[in-house]
Amino acid sequence: MKVLHLLKTSIGASWALRQTRELVALGVEVHVALPDGPLVAEYQKAGVHTHIVDVIFEVKRPWHNIKKSKQLKKLVEEINPDIVHSHFVATTFLMRLALRKTQVPRVFQVPGPLHLEHWLYKRIEIILGNKYDYWLASCQWTQDEYQRCGIEPSRTGLAYYGVNEEDFKVDDHEKIDLRNVCQLEADDYLVGMVAYFYAPKAYLGQKRGLKGHEDFIDAIAIVRKKYPAVKSVIIGGPWGGAQSYFDGVKQYAQERLGDACVFLGIRKDVPLLYPQLNLAVHPSHSENVGAAAESMYSKVSTLSSDVGGFPDLVIDGETGYMAPAKNPEALAAKIIEAYLDEAEQQRRVENAYQKVKTLLNVKQNVLDVNRFYEHVLKQQRAG
């Protein structure tokens, strides 16, 4: 089997590298079209054939998509893949534009549910598909949503973007003592949030950042009125030109929490910082499963919002704590619940570790991808 993967980055999306590496190990001939960058050499080392091509659909300069479509169509003709596998909305739009008259089956593995939460973008993405298009969800909510929109169940599948425990191993030479940095007393309880800062997008109706930083700050402020021993730390920095938004959130935290909230910025030793937290909070407004996986692998108590793929991992009362999204009061109540019962936290932590090891096992996830390929090819042969 020969498969062409379409990626919009060679800097991030390491989950795609893990997936393609395992597909090669299964005997699949894997090609990747992507921009130049540091991960290109890693793909080549894994036995993946790399093609430096820009396969990102441009909204602001749509006339550029004509040339890009011709380049992608030419690449597909040269490689002659059995399947084209896209991993992003932007690469999927270009794939469907370029290959709309070809008969090669196309798989869109959906990395997150964000575009499905906006009626217009959801409709456009679905309408652009034809009988050669298939959808491979990476969380249960996404698969269910496509089927709710009328996509035939036989054209959808589920395969998580796996991540194993060893992927979180880092050199500890940069490790810092969080309790010292946050100036904690012996009995203080440290609640942390790890996420990049994404500025609100007005065209999506967002009034607060996608990751829920403001909700986290509001929740901590509520908790501290009754339990001042609860302190907080936020790890992460601005992404994609969000410096102004980042500065605004820091100012908001200063006004609401004073020195009870410390900002560490972007860190390379996050796996070493997670275990120093008493509770990790993921209050995202839209999410797949990745953020919760990090804290669960790190064996730290995990609290998430109830969106996207989080419920696949975080089961309230079993593997962690869950609160409704965009609800600081409910989030505060769950923080207090965790704070008041350390023994219960530990029980859920152990359950969470077993859950994430099973659900996000990279080798198993890639077997699911390969089975979906076989299903797609069989269905295409059957007409």
Over residues 201-215, the pLDDT tens digits come to 877 777 899 999 999
Q: Where are the alpha helices (DSSP H) in 26-88?
A: 40-45, 64-79
Cα–Cα distances (Å) from 179 to 89, 231, 232, 273, 278, in that order, read: 41, 10, 10, 10, 11
Q: Is the pLDDT of residue 175 over 80?
A: no
pLDDT the model gives residue 163 = 87
Give percent of the chain above pLDDT 90.
Answer: 82
Contact 310, 293 (CB under 8 A): no
Segment 319-338, tens digit of pLDDT? 999 999 999 999 999 999 99
- Mean pLDDT taken over the chain: 94
More confident residue, 12 or 122: 122
pLDDT the model gives residue 188 = 95
Topology of domain 2-162+361-382, per CATH?
Answer: Rossmann fold (3.40.50)
Q: Is the pLDDT of residue 13 over 80?
A: yes
Give percent of the chain above pLDDT 70.
Answer: 99
Pick the CATH number of 165-359 from 1.10.3720.10, 3.40.50.2000, 3.40.190.10, 3.30.710.10: 3.40.50.2000
Domains 2-162+361-382 and 165-359 share a fold: yes
Map out the domains of the chain as residue ranges: 2-162+361-382, 165-359
Lowest mean pLDDT among 42-51, 95-104, 153-162, 265-274: 265-274
Which H, E and C letters describe 72-106, residue by residue?
Answer: HHHHHHHHCCCEEEECCHHHHHHHHHHCCCCCCCE
pLDDT the model gives residue 268 = 85
Question: What is the rounded average pLDDT of the residues 234-249?
Answer: 92
Tokens of 245: 């938004």
Q: Is the pLDDT of residue 170 over 80?
A: no
Segment 213-232, tens digit of pLDDT? 999 999 999 999 999 999 99
Residue 103 — very low, low, confident or very high, per pLDDT cuts 50/70/90?
Answer: very high
Amino acid at 74: K
Segment 146-169, tens digit of pLDDT? 999 999 999 999 999 998 888 777
Residue 11 — very low, low, confident or very high, per pLDDT cuts 50/70/90?
Answer: confident
Residue 244 contacts by C-beta under 8 Å, 6 or more apart in sequence? 199
Amino acid at 10: S
Q: Is the pLDDT of residue 193 over 90?
A: yes
Q: Is the pLDDT of residue 174 over 90?
A: no
Q: 107 φ, ψ to 5°?
A: -115, 125
pLDDT the model gives residue 277 = 96
CA quadruple 216, 220, 221, 224: dihedral, nearest 10: 180
pLDDT the model gives residue 165 = 84
Q: Is the pLDDT of residue 12 over 80?
A: no
Segment 104-130, tens digit of pLDDT? 999 999 998 989 998 888 999 999 999
Q: Is the pLDDT of residue 172 over 80?
A: no
Residue 173 — very low, low, confident or very high, per pLDDT cuts 50/70/90?
Answer: low
Segment 15-27, tens digit of pLDDT? 999 999 999 999 9
